[in-house]
Amino acid sequence: MRRFYTGCDLDRVHSIAELAEIARRRLPYFVWEYLSGGAEAELTLKDNLAAFSAFGLHSRAMVPCHAPDTCRAVLGRVLPMPMLIGPMGYNGLLHRDADIHLARAATARGLPFSLSTASNTSLEELVAAVPGVDLWFQMYAMRDPRVQNDLLQRAADAGCRTLVLTCDAMVLGNRQWDRRNFARSRQLTWRNKLDVVRHPRWLKQVMWPSGLPGMGNLEPYLPPRERNPLGSMAFIGQQMDTLLDWDMLARLREQWGERLLLKGVLHPADVERAITLGLDGVVVSNHGGRQLDGALSSLDALAAIAPQARGKLSLLLDGGIRRGSDIVKALALGADAVLLGRSTLYGVAAAGEAGAGRALDLLTAELALTMNLMGCTHLNHLDGDSVFQRRRA
DSSP string, 172-196: ----HHHHTTEEETTEE-HHHHHHH
Q: Please give the CATH architecture assigned to the domain spanning 10-176+236-389.
A: Alpha-Beta Barrel (3.20)
| DSSP structure string for 108-150 | HTT--EEE-TT-SS-HHHHHHHSTT--EEEEE--BSSHHHHHH
Cα dist. 65→20, 56, 69, 331 in Å? 31, 20, 11, 20
Task: Look up the pTM and report it.
Answer: 0.96
**Which residues are part of a known binding site?**
34, 87-89, 116, 138, 140, 166, 175, 263, 285, 287, 290, 318-322, 341-342
Active-site annotation, residues: 287
Q: How far apart are CA 339 and CA 319, in angstroms?
A: 8
Q: How far apart are CA 124 and CA 12, in angstroms?
A: 36
Start-to-end CA distance of the chain, whole Å, equals: 27
Q: Tell me the pLDDT tens digit for each residue of 38-82.
A: 999 999 999 999 999 999 999 999 999 999 999 999 999 999 999
Which positions ≥6 away from 9 have C-beta within 8 Å?
Answer: none
pLDDT reported for residue 300: 97
Q: What is the mean pLDDT of each run of 10 residues along the chain (393 residues)?
A: 92 98 97 97 97 97 95 96 97 96 98 97 98 98 96 98 96 94 91 96 90 91 88 90 96 97 98 97 98 98 95 97 98 98 98 98 98 97 96 58
**Which residues are part of a known binding site for FMN?**
87-89, 116, 138, 166, 285, 318-322, 341-342
CA dihedral 185, 187, 192, 197 (to 10 degrees): 150
Kindly tell me the burial class for residue 106, based on how many C-beta atoms sit within 10 Å of its own C-beta (0-12, 13-18, 19 or more): buried
Q: How far apart are CA 180 and CA 43, in angstroms?
A: 18
Q: How far apart are CA 265 and CA 35, in angstroms?
A: 22
Q: How far apart are CA 92 and CA 231, in angstroms?
A: 16
Which amino acid does the sequence have at 93?
A: L
Q: Tally helices (H) and strands (E) across the chain.
A: 15, 14
Are residues 343 and 88 in contact, defined by beta-carbon separation less than 8 angstroms? no
pLDDT reported for residue 373: 98
Helix (H) or strand (E) holding 317: strand 314-317
pLDDT reported for residue 230: 84
Q: How far apart are CA 313 and CA 275, in angstroms?
A: 7
| Domain ranges, ordered by start, for the chain | 10-176+236-389
Q: How far apart are CA 82 and CA 335, in angstroms?
A: 9
- Number of alpha carbons in the 13 Å side-chain half-sphere of residue 200: 0
Alpha-carbon torsion (105, 70, 59, 315), positive or negative: positive
Which amino acid does the sequence have at 306?
A: A
CA dihedral 361, 328, 281, 78 (to 10 degrees): 50
pLDDT reported for residue 241: 94
Cα 168–Cα 170–Cα 171 angle in degrees, nearest 5 = 105
Are residues 303 and 335 in contact, defined by beta-carbon separation less than 8 angstroms? no
**Which residues are part of a known binding site for glyoxylate?**
34, 140, 175, 263, 287, 290
pLDDT reported for residue 393: 47
Are residues 329 and 82 in contact, defined by beta-carbon separation less than 8 angstroms? no
Are residues 61 and 375 in contact, defined by beta-carbon separation less than 8 angstroms? yes
Q: How far apart are CA 223 and CA 236, in angstroms?
A: 14
Which amino acid does the sequence have at 140?
A: Y
What integer best gives the mean pLDDT of the chain?
96
Q: Which of 181, 164, 170 is nearest to 237 (CA)?
A: 170
